[in-house]
Structure 1
Amino acid sequence: MGRILFQGGRVFDGTGSDRAAGDVVVEDGLIVDVGTGLDGDEVVDCTGMTVLPGLFDCHVHVVMSGVDLLRAVQQPFSYQFYEAARNLRRTLQAGITTVRDAGGADLGIQRAVEDGLIPGPRMQISVNIISQTGGHGDDWMPSGQCAGPWIPHPGRPASIADGPDEMRRVARTLLRAGAEVLKVCTTGGVLSPGDDPRHSQFTPEELDVLVTEASMQGKYVMAHAQGAEGVKNAVRAGIRSVEHGIFLDDEAIELMLEHRTWLVPTLVAPLAVLRSVQAGAALPEEMVRKAEEVVQVHADSVRRAVEAGVRIAMGTDAGVGPHGENLEELALMRACGMTPAQVLAASTSSSAELLGWGDRLGRLAPGYRADLVLVEGDAYEFERLPGAIREVWRDGVRVVPMTR
């Protein structure tokens, strides 16, 4: 393949600098030059467009397609894998070229994308969610039955742990199954019937074991953490990212700054729950009540974290809401005080850094993977952005519109 020249557009390079007129040259899946007056063997006309790095979503569940529990228990076991293929395609069409799956996707789904069996963004996977008995990832219901969005199988081992020894065993089992990041619940959550998002789960000793096991294998830990005390426990243990962060207090924010912990807000998630219920989804009243209660306090917490300078990466909890609508999160991030350039940097270079891929993804710069999104008009107009994406390229290959 020769040199592909993306010519005549405005370039947002992913660093947070403002857009500037420029060209991008791609060859053999890599960006080889960014500047003006460049040449190439094939020209892609970007006149009137903004050229972005491929976007990230650092919190998705590709085997989940909504939060309707009645629907979930009625689906055949294998149906989730076909839905995952559809969800990955929709995510890619939204300009998301890289995702971190926060529970559910196994190694087979990741490899199917890597090997070109199904179209989708590149994936970093956690396989399953580590929960204590009665915690946010424990799908036990008052009936005595388990009714969660996915059940364990050979590629997705069970991940309930109580005590340091069980935590060590579960961590090693998930790493053996292909987990590149370990996901743990350090608080309750909205979509679990028997706990409170403000209450802590797992002891500091259990979390220390988990981080040690991940670190010994060159991996890191992400934490579903909504209540302030559970956030603090996660940060003190050395967990790399806090997911949601609904009830942050000043001490939690200060600790996150001190430890350089990332926040992945997922502001759209509770809104998606309420929309699903309005559309007829069957959820317990307790879950609906919690979703209603957290919307405003969630936004307030993220706003305070942004003002303090906490590092932010983009994530949506897609799967709770529809896949392919990921970019709704960007306007919500801007409403929490981030500038448009900061929002796009959080969705590109900052997310790449969080995932440990900051030296190869998230920027338009020589030597980086050639992931590009071509947006008609101004990419800072987030409300119109989903309908303005014209082309998506991954590793120097146009994947949207999809070629045959």
Structure 2
Amino acid sequence: MVHLISPWHIVLLAVIPTNVASEIIRGVNLGGWLVTEEWITPSVFSSTRTNDEWSLCNALGKDKCRSQLENHWKTFFTRDDFVDIKATGLNAIRIPVGYWAVDVQEYEPYVGGQYPYLIQAVGWASELGLQVLIDLHGAPGSQNGQDNSGLIGPVLFPSNSTNSERSLTVLRNLTQEFTKDIYGSTVTGIELLNEPRLSDPNFPMTQLRSFYADAAEIVRNASTRPLNITFHDAFWGPSYWSNYDPTDSSSTAPANDLTLDTHQYYAFPPQNNLSHPEIIDSICGISQLLKRPASISGIPPTIVGEFSLEVGKPPTDFQPQDDDNLSQDQAQRTWYRLLFEAQNAAYAPSGPGQSSIGWYYWTWKTEWDIDTWSYRRGVADGYIPSDVSNASTYAFPVLGNGCVDSEFNYTAPSYRLTDATIIDPKDGALHTHCTIDICDGKIKRLSKASQWPSPKDEVLSWTQDPNLITIDLEGKFVIPGLIDCHIHLATPPGENGLKDTMHQDHDTALLRQTYLAGEMLKRGFTTVRDCGGAGLAIKEALAEGLVTGPRLFISGHGISQTGGHGDVRSAKDGEYACCGGNAKGLGRIADGVEQCLHAAREELRQGADFIKIMVSGGVVSATDQLTNLQYTPEEIRAFTKVASDAGTYVTAHAYTPAAIRNAVENGVMGIEHGNLIDEATAKLMADKGAFLTPTLVTYEAMASKEFGSFLPPAIAAKNLQVLEAGLKSVQIAVKAGVTMVYGTDLLGSLQVRQSGGFTLLRQAGQSSLQILQAATVNAAKRLRQEYSLGRIKEGFLADLLILDQNPMEDIEVLARPDKCLLAVFKDGRVLTSRWRKIPAEGNASASIR
């Protein structure tokens, strides 16, 4: 019988946003969930002493088995797991499914009920921007005779045509369901059959190829949109499948919609007998094969759908005591790190036109979190990078041939900070005499000493290695790294006045940006959001560690209508050429729905993390008034549609109530500035959950005597208008319950005032806690990074500030970084320090203590 989907699930998914991911696939398998395996979840099988799902349900009976598995499906993977997966920089999941989730016969002991959980999983993935590959992991009769197919024993899948026909029915069902519009493009592929074993003489390659041909045609005909058809190499290796087209035996090139899956394990014969150097050489060989131009090799786009860190024995031989203290051993952790990074480099493409497109690790977790099989355990223990999407978290260099430099002298970094006074910005609570353990860029553990700790106080055994750096903070205050949600990195200091600042030579400005980024970090800003101007080059340079500075999120160009706030031309300049898309300085021009759609998509293509639009006049724009309304509702909805489809958001430059309402009522989720807001509009923002980024410090700086010549007279008058209203706007927003984030919006030489916003927000009547929240937890939520940034929590990125005064008593401590900020940790590294006892990397220190 086929299990039908309830209407409740359809209603739930109708509101899920779509997301199309095009980057390198770095994913994990959700092993042991909808297809159970005894070694992954031994508690499910413990009462029966069985070791496959067929036998489990046969022993329990259908009713008891359904009840037991229902509880397992409900609890083993939850939305929290998906959030954690996303937080580690992974962008994809592979979900194994057995045929019995769709079609189980009365004579079979299997039970159904998995389908609603599969639907729920796709929904979570869509919300979080994860792409999904659905994999037929078990076929009728078993395609490999192993536990991962649901049934250990002989390979009976090829023994009759009914097994093949039932499998095709399942594939048709999955394709028809998950290409429906309600799922968007979240499901990017269907895998036809997992790990078919052809060692049985009754299962020849000709029969497998015949099944693949039928299955590919089924998926193509059943799909309502483009969908990758993924097929396993049956352990014959990628080269065998060169120029493969399942429906054209004479093809001289792979079919366009095919993806090859190859599994690379060193836990099974004969590869399990290789030495460590031989394993690294083997991985390097795979790298060179998959990085050959596909036009020459003929190998289809290829994912490594399963791999792990085990190198000696199959997981079924594992016992809980086997990994006692393994991850505490520095040499073992270093080997795991090398093995992971070697495979990451090998299985991901290093350039265009290669066969390799990415990987899925097996698996996200196991019940015992086996160190060589659990991805989350590897991240927690520091031998898998904390953010695999960020190359700066990698340890081993990659050589020109695509292989890692295994001779590189790497030691997994770790810190222990003792006697810390932690301030939690969630509620302002102070936690004294705490120990913060940092490993691989993340906060590994937090503990509270029962007595005053010392460097010899070993609360946690994992840190007993000679490379641990222990620092007694002597009760100093620790807060999360600060977040500035409105900067313009592309207008660095170096020119005189507004006009020259806005029209800097591009190459000169890019070099100056590296200096500006470093200065922001010295002020305690470990993350910044650029609202117009910064490009992909500086973002990637910061992420890769080539430039020292904050983590950077960018909008690309701010998008403006002709004559709007982002149009840098004067009234006497010539007209832009037809037909839209003109980008100059910080802005891009777009008029009409079609141009707005194109402009937003183009910014996302060029690496934008979100979309910034201009919906009112501005202070520094020459040809508009503050009260101008810019962009029609239809144009704004075009922007928000593109952003929603890409899994991101739109923020808008706006001052007046009319402009703010025009934006928020049409799907914009953030307002920059908002100086002229009224109570009714503030309530609308609060009701819609829109964020406000007040930028008081930029108006104060532009009006100050120190920078009196920065603005021309006409613009200075507009600046005074918004300066006077700015403090009141914050008070109105606070009263209405609007979520506010810290922003500065400084240009050129004014950038030195970045920390001055804390003083002005205090003058506006905000409490120390509210201001700290704006620059930490609220800002992290605005960036959609609330599960990795903004708090000092286990598993969060180790972005920390060490202060010698309590900002909860005086928030202006943060406005005096040269006197009060002792050290800045970003990604677990000391990048700047003013305290002699905490040396910074590269001697980036200027001691004040």
Compute the TM-score of the two structures, normalised by the length of structure 1.
Answer: 0.93
CA distance in 2, matches of 1:293, 1:299: 12
Structure 1 distance, partners of 2:418, 2:805, is: 15
Match of 1:343 in 2: 771
Report the Cα offset of residue 320 of structure 1. 5.7
Q: Which amino acid aligns with 1:210?
A: F
Aligned residues: 397
Letter in structure 2 aligned against 1:392: V
Which residues of 2 match residues 357-396 of structure 1 at below 5 A? 357-380=785-808, 381-385=810-814, 386-387=817-818, 388-396=820-828
* SS at 2:424 equivalent: coil
* 1:24 match: 436
1:311 maps to which of 739, 751, 758? 739
1:284 and 2:734 matched: no
Return the offset for 1:6: 1.6
Structure 1 distance, partners of 2:655, 2:507, is 32
Query: How far off its partner does 1:275 sit?
Result: 2.9
Tell me what 1:201 maps to: 630
> For 2:754, what is the secondary structure of its paired residue?
coil
Counterpart of 1:249 in structure 2 is: 678
Contact 1:95 1:373 in 2 (8 A): yes
Does residue 110 (structure 1) correspond to residue 522 (structure 2)? The answer is no
Aligned to 1:77: 506
Provide the residue aligned with 2:415 in structure 1.
4
Q: After superposition, give the CA deviation of every residue in 1:15-58 in whole Å (9 maximum; x if it has no partner).
A: 13232312322112111222311555422222242101111000
Which segment drifts farther, 95-104 or 157-166? 157-166
> Which of 102, 126, 133 is the equivalent residue of 2:555?
126
How far did 1:278 drift?
Answer: 3.9
The one-letter amino acid of 1:62's match is L
In structure 2, the residue matched to 1:167 is 596
Per-residue deviation, 1:134:
0.6
User: Could you tell me which residue of structure 1 aligns to residue 424 of structure 2?
Assistant: 13
SS at structure 2 position matched to 1:373 = strand
Q: Deviations over 1:244-281 (max 9, x none)?
A: 01110122111101101001101111112223774432
Matched, 1:267 2:678: no
Distance (Å, rounded) in 2 between the aligned partners of 1:334 and 1:73: 30
Deviates more, 1:241-250 or 1:65-74: 65-74
DSSP-derived class of the 2:730 partner: helix
- Secondary structure of residue in 1 paired with 2:589: coil
Structure 1's 311 and 304: CA in aligned 2 closer, same or farther, altered over 3 A? same
- Report which of the two structures shows the higher radius of gyration computed on alpha carbons: 2
Alignment map for 1:210-249 (pairs within 5 Å): 210-249=639-678
CA–CA distance in 2 between the matches of 1:58 and 1:158?
Answer: 18
Write the letter of the residue equivalent to 1:258: D
User: Partner residue of 1:35?
Assistant: 447
In 1, the alpha carbon distance for the partners of 2:735 and 2:686 equals 12
- More strand, by proportion: 1
Is the 1:306–1:337 Cα contact (8 Å) retained in structure 2? no
Instruction: Specify whether residues 136 and 128 from structure 1 end up closer, same or farther in structure 2 by C-alpha distance, changes over 3 A only.
Output: same
Q: In structure 2, the residue corresponding to 1:111 is in which secondary structure?
A: helix
Contact 2:555 2:608 in 1 (8 A): yes
Q: Secondary structure at the match of 2:699?
A: helix
Counterpart Cα distance in 2 of 1:72 and 1:334: 30
What is the TM-score of this pair, normalised by structure 2? 0.45
- Structure 2, gaps ≥5 residues long: 1-411, 450-458, 576-581, 834-839, 843-849
Task: Please state how far the C-alpha of 1:174 moved relative to its aligned partner.
Answer: 0.8
Tell me which amino acid in the other structure corresponds to 2:484: D
CA contact (8 A) 1:263 1:313 kept: yes
CA distance in 1, matches of 2:705, 2:622: 17
Q: Is the 8 A contact 2:533 2:586 kept in 1?
A: no
Change (3 A) 1:141 1:179: same
Correspondence 1:50 to 2:477? yes
TM-aligned CA distance change 1:129 to 1:322, over 3 Å: same
> Residue in 2 aligned with 1:137?
566
Q: CA deviation at 1:158?
A: 6.3
- The partner residue of 1:64 within 487, 491, 498 is 491
User: 1:223, 1:241 within 8 Å by CA — same for their partners in 2?
Assistant: yes
Q: Does 1:185 align with 2:626?
A: no
Q: 1:74 to 1:107 in 2, by over 3 A?
A: closer
Structure 1 unaligned regions, length at least 5: none
- Of the two structures, which has the highest relative contact order with CA contacts closer than 8 Å and spacing of 6 or more? 1
Asked whether the 8 Å contact 1:90–1:323 carries over to 2, the reply is no
Q: 1:72 to 1:319 in 2, by over 3 A?
A: closer
Deviation readout 1:270-316 (Å, 9 max, x if unpaired): 112223774432x3322100111211211101111112211011111
C-alpha contact (below 8 Å) 1:58/1:100 kept by paired residues: yes
- What residue in structure 1 maps to residue 179 of structure 2? none
Higher mean displacement: 102-111 or 1-10:
1-10
Retained in 2: the 8 A contact 1:48–1:377? no
Cα offset, 1:75, TM superposition: 4.2
Shift of 1:14: 2.7
Amino acid at match of 1:90: E
**Residue from 687, 691, 710 that aligns with 1:258:** 687
Which stretch of the first structure deviates more once superposed, 379-388 or 100-109? 379-388
- In structure 2, relative to structure 1, the CA distance for the partners of 1:129 and 1:258 (3 Å cut) is same
Please tell me whether the aligned partners of residues 654 and 674 of structure 2 are also in contact (alpha carbons under 8 angstroms).
Answer: yes
Distance 1:276 1:226, change over 3 A: farther
The answer to whether the aligner puts 1:333 opposite 2:771 as a matched pair is: no
SS of 1:78 mapped into structure 2: helix
Q: Which amino acid aligns with 1:8?
A: D
Partners of 1:63 and 1:202 lie apart in 2 by: 25
Instruction: Report the counterpart of residue 403 of structure 1 in structure 2.
Output: 841
CA RMSD of aligned residues (A): 2.1
- Judge conservation of contact 2:805–2:813 (CA < 8 Å) in 1: no
Q: CA deviation at 1:199?
A: 2.2
Contact 1:273 1:321 in 2 (8 A): no
1:343, distance to aligned residue in structure 2 (A): 1.1
Farther-moved stretch of structure 1 (103-112 vs 269-278): 269-278
Distance apart, 1:219 and its partner CA: 1.4
